[in-house]
């Protein structure tokens, strides 16, 4: 037995790539590719995302807050995976968008999550080539003590697709959102560059700026007061 024969046998019983690891790594990559800027790309003008809340009726109603469950002592969100692979997402407070994004990626769902403080406009729509509503997870409207929630199966998200969730939240009471929107985008997802809306104007609420690095998994949130 020569040295190469010996070497080739060492570690030959290394376990194969686990399905969970594959899903997570793939979701991370797809999220990254979906956020890559492609100059000159023609986007679909279809607008099929589902806005839940006041914004569905028009931007003029943005300021109408929708009560979301107030559970300040519990985590901001929950991502639960059932035995059949279905993922249930519950959002109790609209903070730590990138934490929720990472948690979804861990569950094998490429995702882009953006929370925008009320009064700072909305993400320019569409963010990409959106699937029609009947292929989009149904979002349960936050009402009373019931938080916003939706469920989906990783199978709903195909190879080049990304879950996109946006919320306009009350900076003073992050458990409140005036609008929540969920969609599935095929291909690239444009960055959220909030447009100036009718509710724009002086505000004392904080602006949350995210610096997200999918490669390292690190996220930094910088809070500042626009009113100061």
* Interacting residue ranges for other proteins, rule: CB under 8 A: 1-4, 6-11, 14-18, 21-22, 24-26, 28-30, 32-34, 36, 38, 41, 159-160, 186-188, 214-215
Instruction: State which residue, 22 or 82, has the beta carbon closest to other proteins.
Output: 22
CB 85 within 8 A of CB 156: no
> In angstroms, what is the minimal distance from the CB of 69 to other proteins?
34
Counting Cα atoms < 13 Å in the Cβ hemisphere of 150 gives 21
With respect to other proteins, which residue has the nearer C-beta, 42 or 228? 42
For other proteins, which is the closer residue by CB, 17 or 155?
17
Q: What is the 3-state secondary structure (H, E, C) of 91-156?
A: ECCCCCHHHHHHHHHHCCCCEEEEEEECCCCEECCCCCEECCHHHCCCEECCECCECEEEEECHHH
Report d(CA 22, CA 198) in Å as an integer: 44
Cα–Cα distances (Å) from 87 to 79, 123, 156, in that order, read 7, 25, 11
Nearest approach, Cβ of residue 181 and other proteins (Å): 21
Please say which residue, 30 or 177, places its beta carbon nearer to other proteins. 30
Instruction: Provide, rounded to whole angstroms, the least separation between the CB of residue 35 and other proteins.
Output: 9
Q: In angstroms, what is the minimal distance from the CB of 5 to other proteins?
A: 8
Give 110 or 142: the residue with its C-beta nearer to other proteins.
Answer: 110
Rounded to the nearest whole angstrom, what is the least distance from the CB of residue 42 to other proteins in the complex? 11
Provide the 10 A C-beta neighbour count for residue 198: 13
Q: Which is nearer to other proteins, 26 or 71 (CB)?
A: 26
Helix (H, G, I), strand (E, B) or coil at 68: coil
For tokens 């993922």, the residue is 87
In whole angstroms, the minimum distance from the beta carbon of 141 to other proteins comes to 31
To the nearest 10 degrees (0 to 180), the angle between helices 97-106 and 19-34 is 130
């Amino acid at each position: 037995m020569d040295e190469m024969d010996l070497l080739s046998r060492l570690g030959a019983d290394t376990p194969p790539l686990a399905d969970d690891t594959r899903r997570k790594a793939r979701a991370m990559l797809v999220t990254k590719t979906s956020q890559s800027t492609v100059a000159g790309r023609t986007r679909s003008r279809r607008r099929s995302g589902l806005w839940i809340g006041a914004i569905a009726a028009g931007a003029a109603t943005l300021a109408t807050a929708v009560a979301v469950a107030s559970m300040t002592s519990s985590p901001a969100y929950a991502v639960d995976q059932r035995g059949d692979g279905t993922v249930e997402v519950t959002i109790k407070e609209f903070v730590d968008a990138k934490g929720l994004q990472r948690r979804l990626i861990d569950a094998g769902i490429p995702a882009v999550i953006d929370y925008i403080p009320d009064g700072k406009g909305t993400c320019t729509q569409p963010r990409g080539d959106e699937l029609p509503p009947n292929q989009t997870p149904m979002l349960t409207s936050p009402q009373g003590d019931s938080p916003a929630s939706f469920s989906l199966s990783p199978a709903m998200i195909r190879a080049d697709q990304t879950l996109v969730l946006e919320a306009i939240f009350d900076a003073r009471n992050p458990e409140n959102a005036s609008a929540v929107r969920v969609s599935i985008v095929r291909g690239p997802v444009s960055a959220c560059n909030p447009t100036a809306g009718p509710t724009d104007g002086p505000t004392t609420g904080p602006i949350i700026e995210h610096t997200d690095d999918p490669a390292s998994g690190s996220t930094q949130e910088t809070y500042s007061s626009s009113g100061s």
